Amino acid sequence: MITAATDAPGFNFGALAKGTQVAGYTTGSGGIQWTADMWRQFPAAVRICQDSAASDHTADVLDVESGAATLAECAPWKKAAQKAFLTGARPGQREPAIYCSLSMVTSVVNALKAGGVDRCPIWMAHFGIGVTAAENVLRASTGPYPIIGVQFANGPKFDSDLFLTPWLENVSGKAVIMQEPPGQWNDPKFWTWQDCCLIGTGVDGKLHVFAFDPKAGTWTKAE
Protein backbone atom coordinates (compact mmCIF):
# COMPACT_ATOMS: atom_id res chain seq x y z
CA MET A 1 0.00 0.00 0.00
CA ILE A 2 1.02 3.59 -0.67
CA THR A 3 0.02 6.73 1.25
CA ALA A 4 0.01 10.28 -0.13
CA ALA A 5 1.50 12.99 2.07
CA THR A 6 2.67 16.59 2.13
CA ASP A 7 5.52 18.20 4.03
CA ALA A 8 6.15 21.79 5.03
CA PRO A 9 8.38 23.89 7.27
CA GLY A 10 6.88 25.61 10.28
CA PHE A 11 6.42 28.94 8.50
CA ASN A 12 4.10 27.23 5.97
CA PHE A 13 2.32 25.01 8.49
CA GLY A 14 -1.07 26.61 7.73
CA ALA A 15 -1.01 25.19 4.19
CA LEU A 16 -1.22 21.59 5.44
CA ALA A 17 -4.67 20.00 5.32
CA LYS A 18 -6.04 18.65 8.59
CA GLY A 19 -6.70 14.93 8.71
CA THR A 20 -4.02 14.05 6.14
CA GLN A 21 -0.60 12.43 6.37
CA VAL A 22 2.04 15.13 6.69
CA ALA A 23 5.69 15.57 7.58
CA GLY A 24 7.42 18.32 9.55
CA TYR A 25 10.70 19.32 11.14
CA THR A 26 11.86 18.65 14.69
CA THR A 27 14.95 20.85 14.18
CA GLY A 28 15.94 23.72 11.91
CA SER A 29 16.31 27.48 12.02
CA GLY A 30 14.52 30.44 10.50
CA GLY A 31 11.04 29.15 11.23
CA ILE A 32 11.62 25.67 9.77
CA GLN A 33 11.21 23.84 13.09
CA TRP A 34 7.66 22.97 14.12
CA THR A 35 6.28 24.12 17.46
CA ALA A 36 4.85 21.83 20.12
CA ASP A 37 1.34 22.93 19.15
CA MET A 38 1.95 21.96 15.52
CA TRP A 39 2.96 18.45 16.57
CA ARG A 40 -0.16 18.20 18.74
CA GLN A 41 -2.30 18.94 15.66
CA PHE A 42 -0.55 16.22 13.63
CA PRO A 43 0.61 13.56 16.13
CA ALA A 44 1.28 11.00 13.37
CA ALA A 45 3.35 13.38 11.24
CA VAL A 46 6.67 12.10 9.91
CA ARG A 47 9.39 13.77 11.96
CA ILE A 48 12.43 15.12 10.11
CA CYS A 49 15.72 16.09 11.74
CA GLN A 50 16.99 18.94 9.58
CA ASP A 51 19.86 20.52 11.50
CA SER A 52 23.49 20.21 10.46
CA ALA A 53 24.38 18.54 13.76
CA ALA A 54 21.97 15.63 13.12
CA SER A 55 20.94 16.07 16.75
CA ASP A 56 17.50 14.43 16.96
CA HIS A 57 17.94 10.68 17.23
CA THR A 58 14.23 10.13 17.90
CA ALA A 59 13.18 11.60 14.53
CA ASP A 60 11.93 9.32 11.76
CA VAL A 61 14.16 10.85 9.08
CA LEU A 62 17.52 12.61 8.76
CA ASP A 63 17.57 15.34 6.07
CA VAL A 64 20.83 15.08 4.11
CA GLU A 65 21.29 18.02 1.76
CA SER A 66 23.01 21.40 1.57
CA GLY A 67 22.38 23.31 4.80
CA ALA A 68 21.24 20.19 6.65
CA ALA A 69 23.05 17.00 7.71
CA THR A 70 26.13 15.75 5.86
CA LEU A 71 27.15 12.39 4.43
CA ALA A 72 29.53 11.90 7.35
CA GLU A 73 26.60 12.06 9.77
CA CYS A 74 24.48 9.41 8.02
CA ALA A 75 25.87 6.28 9.69
CA PRO A 76 26.30 7.69 13.24
CA TRP A 77 22.77 9.13 13.18
CA LYS A 78 21.25 5.93 11.83
CA LYS A 79 22.93 3.84 14.52
CA ALA A 80 21.79 6.15 17.33
CA ALA A 81 18.28 6.51 15.88
CA GLN A 82 17.97 2.75 15.36
CA LYS A 83 18.75 2.18 19.02
CA ALA A 84 16.14 4.79 19.95
CA PHE A 85 13.62 3.01 17.71
CA LEU A 86 14.37 -0.40 19.21
CA THR A 87 14.09 0.81 22.79
CA GLY A 88 11.01 2.98 22.25
CA ALA A 89 12.78 6.16 23.32
CA ARG A 90 10.00 8.04 21.53
CA PRO A 91 6.95 5.81 21.11
CA GLY A 92 5.68 6.17 17.55
CA GLN A 93 9.09 6.54 15.91
CA ARG A 94 9.39 4.89 12.49
CA GLU A 95 12.36 2.81 11.38
CA PRO A 96 14.94 5.60 10.92
CA ALA A 97 15.41 6.66 7.30
CA ILE A 98 17.57 9.10 5.33
CA TYR A 99 16.10 11.82 3.08
CA CYS A 100 18.15 12.88 0.07
CA SER A 101 17.84 13.80 -3.59
CA LEU A 102 18.03 11.22 -6.37
CA SER A 103 21.53 12.43 -7.22
CA MET A 104 22.68 11.76 -3.63
CA VAL A 105 21.27 8.26 -3.14
CA THR A 106 24.44 6.41 -4.17
CA SER A 107 26.62 8.67 -2.02
CA VAL A 108 24.31 8.20 0.98
CA VAL A 109 24.29 4.41 0.60
CA ASN A 110 28.08 4.36 0.27
CA ALA A 111 28.42 6.50 3.41
CA LEU A 112 26.12 4.16 5.32
CA LYS A 113 28.06 1.10 4.18
CA ALA A 114 31.37 2.71 5.06
CA GLY A 115 30.00 3.47 8.52
CA GLY A 116 28.90 -0.11 9.14
CA VAL A 117 25.17 0.33 8.48
CA ASP A 118 23.87 -2.65 6.53
CA ARG A 119 20.26 -1.50 6.22
CA CYS A 120 18.55 1.88 6.04
CA PRO A 121 15.34 3.06 4.35
CA ILE A 122 15.65 5.98 1.94
CA TRP A 123 13.19 8.83 1.27
CA MET A 124 14.16 10.15 -2.15
CA ALA A 125 13.42 13.55 -3.66
CA HIS A 126 12.82 13.44 -7.42
CA PHE A 127 10.88 16.53 -8.37
CA GLY A 128 8.87 16.29 -11.58
CA ILE A 129 8.74 12.50 -11.65
CA GLY A 130 4.94 12.47 -11.35
CA VAL A 131 2.63 10.33 -9.24
CA THR A 132 2.58 7.22 -11.43
CA ALA A 133 6.36 7.02 -11.76
CA ALA A 134 6.77 7.62 -8.02
CA GLU A 135 4.35 4.79 -7.28
CA ASN A 136 6.33 2.49 -9.58
CA VAL A 137 9.55 3.35 -7.75
CA LEU A 138 7.98 2.42 -4.42
CA ARG A 139 6.42 -0.80 -5.70
CA ALA A 140 9.79 -1.93 -7.11
CA SER A 141 11.69 -0.99 -3.97
CA THR A 142 13.72 -3.79 -2.42
CA GLY A 143 17.08 -4.62 -0.88
CA PRO A 144 18.84 -3.39 2.25
CA TYR A 145 18.43 0.31 1.34
CA PRO A 146 14.81 0.40 0.14
CA ILE A 147 13.10 3.53 -1.16
CA ILE A 148 10.20 4.00 1.27
CA GLY A 149 9.24 7.52 0.19
CA VAL A 150 9.36 9.68 -2.92
CA GLN A 151 9.04 13.47 -2.86
CA PHE A 152 7.77 14.01 -6.39
CA ALA A 153 6.74 17.69 -6.47
CA ASN A 154 7.64 20.91 -4.72
CA GLY A 155 5.35 23.88 -4.39
CA PRO A 156 5.39 27.36 -2.94
CA LYS A 157 3.89 26.23 0.38
CA PHE A 158 4.50 22.48 0.67
CA ASP A 159 6.04 19.48 -1.09
CA SER A 160 4.11 16.40 -2.24
CA ASP A 161 5.16 12.87 -1.31
CA LEU A 162 4.25 9.20 -1.47
CA PHE A 163 5.25 6.74 1.27
CA LEU A 164 5.07 3.00 1.62
CA THR A 165 2.26 2.52 4.13
CA PRO A 166 3.99 -0.33 6.01
CA TRP A 167 6.91 1.99 6.79
CA LEU A 168 4.53 4.64 8.13
CA GLU A 169 2.71 2.09 10.27
CA ASN A 170 5.76 0.27 11.67
CA VAL A 171 6.27 2.35 14.79
CA SER A 172 8.03 1.75 18.08
CA GLY A 173 6.03 0.94 21.17
CA LYS A 174 6.30 2.23 24.71
CA ALA A 175 9.74 2.83 26.10
CA VAL A 176 11.46 -0.32 27.32
CA ILE A 177 14.71 -1.12 29.05
CA MET A 178 16.83 -3.02 26.54
CA GLN A 179 18.09 -6.05 28.38
CA GLU A 180 21.18 -7.80 27.10
CA PRO A 181 20.30 -11.01 25.27
CA PRO A 182 21.19 -14.18 27.16
CA GLY A 183 24.19 -16.43 26.83
CA GLN A 184 26.51 -15.50 24.01
CA TRP A 185 25.99 -11.74 24.49
CA ASN A 186 28.58 -11.72 27.25
CA ASP A 187 31.23 -12.87 24.81
CA PRO A 188 33.94 -10.18 24.51
CA LYS A 189 34.12 -10.62 20.73
CA PHE A 190 32.64 -8.04 18.35
CA TRP A 191 28.88 -7.78 17.89
CA THR A 192 27.08 -5.59 15.36
CA TRP A 193 23.57 -4.27 14.76
CA GLN A 194 21.82 -5.28 11.54
CA ASP A 195 18.22 -4.11 11.20
CA CYS A 196 16.58 -5.25 14.47
CA CYS A 197 19.15 -7.91 15.30
CA LEU A 198 22.50 -8.31 17.00
CA ILE A 199 24.88 -10.53 15.06
CA GLY A 200 28.24 -11.89 16.19
CA THR A 201 30.47 -14.87 16.87
CA GLY A 202 29.93 -16.54 20.20
CA VAL A 203 32.34 -18.22 22.57
CA ASP A 204 31.54 -21.48 20.76
CA GLY A 205 32.95 -20.02 17.53
CA LYS A 206 29.57 -20.04 15.79
CA LEU A 207 27.56 -17.13 14.38
CA HIS A 208 24.62 -16.12 16.58
CA VAL A 209 21.71 -13.80 15.85
CA PHE A 210 19.45 -12.26 18.50
CA ALA A 211 16.29 -10.44 17.37
CA PHE A 212 14.86 -7.70 19.59
CA ASP A 213 11.12 -6.94 19.82
CA PRO A 214 10.87 -3.22 20.70
CA LYS A 215 7.22 -3.45 21.75
CA ALA A 216 7.67 -6.42 24.08
CA GLY A 217 11.20 -5.59 25.15
CA THR A 218 12.27 -9.19 24.64
CA TRP A 219 15.03 -11.06 22.78
CA THR A 220 14.65 -14.16 20.62
CA LYS A 221 17.62 -16.25 19.55
CA ALA A 222 17.24 -16.55 15.78
CA GLU A 223 20.35 -18.65 15.04
Q: Assign residue 50 the CATH number of its domain.
A: 3.20.20
> pLDDT tens for residues 12-35?
999 999 999 999 999 999 999 999
- Check whether 108 has a pLDDT greater than 80: yes
Same domain, 140 and 200: no
| 120 domain-assigned | yes
Residues 150 and 67 in one domain: yes
Q: Both 190 and 87 in a single domain?
A: no
Q: How confident is the model at residue 200 (pLDDT cuts 50, 70, 90)?
A: low
Residues 51 and 154 in one domain: yes
- Residue 86: the pLDDT is 87
Domain contains 204: yes
Q: How far apart are CA 219 and CA 81, in angstroms?
A: 19
Same domain, yes or no, for 10 and 37?
Answer: yes
Do 190 and 153 share a structural domain?
no
Whole-angstrom distance, CA of residue 20 vs CA of residue 3? 10
**Same domain, yes or no: 132 and 201:** no
- What is the pLDDT at residue 58? 97
Task: Give residue 38's identity as a one-letter amino acid code.
Answer: M
Model pLDDT for residues 132-188, shown as the tens digit of each residue: 999 999 999 999 999 999 999 999 999 999 999 999 999 988 765 555 555 555 554
Task: Say what the pLDDT of residue 188 is.
Answer: 43
> What is the span of the domain harbouring residue 111?
2-169
pTM over 0.75: yes
| Partners of residue 6 on adjacent β-strands | 22, 160
Does the residue 96 lie in any domain?
A: yes
Do 86 and 187 have their domain in common? Answer: no
Number of domains making up the chain: 2
Q: How far is CA 133 from CA 140, 152, 155, 165, 212, in A?
A: 11, 9, 18, 17, 36
- What is the pLDDT, as a whole number, of residue 206? 72
Same-domain pairing of 159 and 197: no
Average pLDDT, the chain: 88
